[in-house]
Structure 1
């Protein structure tokens, strides 16, 4: 996940939420040095503890964990904001073209229009990719 799409800290929770009555069962898992290193890397990347990582992976009915799903949803919200900004730029470009016309003192260049269209396409493809990741297989 890129820096611009990282959720605020209040959206992220490393530990699982408490449950009424507490958790009464404990399981011990032994790992080799290489397995431990992989677990540490994965947990760090996802911003969760190793026990949470293992529980989510084991109990997840899909190929994604709740943490991964949350991260994808946060990415969709970030893409929504980006698309809104691009739409605002498109409206400003249309307003300028209506005010000045194509041959006026401050016309838009074809490069500016093309860059805006390319930005819309890139965001649309990113949204499609994230939605595909969220869709059940």
Structure 2
């Protein structure tokens, strides 16, 4: 089963970032044989990471562990997004606390804010699980 990528898209229509030029070019090519099941699993991981199958294999091999550099970049982006959400939610909680302290009444927006805290926490736990489990358990 030979698969080649002719375009610079990730299969979902999104543009993939091109590799930086390497001095002297990339002259070596490796043929990797795999089963249909192995290829489907690797191709799915490559699609999620937004890279080609060969790029995923190179990054995974050079990363020195089981996680490719592109997957780590995606996790870093997710953590930064969660950080921004957490900052926004923290701001909302502070504003609601100020209103509650000033008026002695709990604002109606408190329930929605608490749901937002739960969503941010769930995203953070999911991203942490991708790294190999909760930090306190490693």
Q: TM-score scaled by structure 2? A: 0.66
Superposed displacement of residue 93, structure 1: 0.5
| 2:107 counterpart residue number | 108
- Residues 25-44 of structure 1 correspond to what in structure 2 (within 5 A)? 25-44=28-47
TM (norm. structure 1) is: 0.67
Q: String of CA shifts for 1:9-59, please: whole Å, max 9, x gaps.
A: 79x62x433222211211122333333333322221221101101111222
Is it true that 1:127 corresponds to 2:124 in the alignment? Answer: yes
Unaligned ranges ≥5, structure 2: 1-13
Query: Which residue of 85, 88, 91 corresponds with 2:91?
Result: 88
- Residue 69 of structure 1: aligned partner: 72
Higher helix share: 1
Q: Deviations over 1:41-83 (max 9, x none)?
A: 2221221101101111222212211011101100011101110
Q: Is the alpha carbon distance of 1:51 and 1:126 closer, same or farther for their aligned partners in structure 2, counting shifts above 3 Å?
A: same
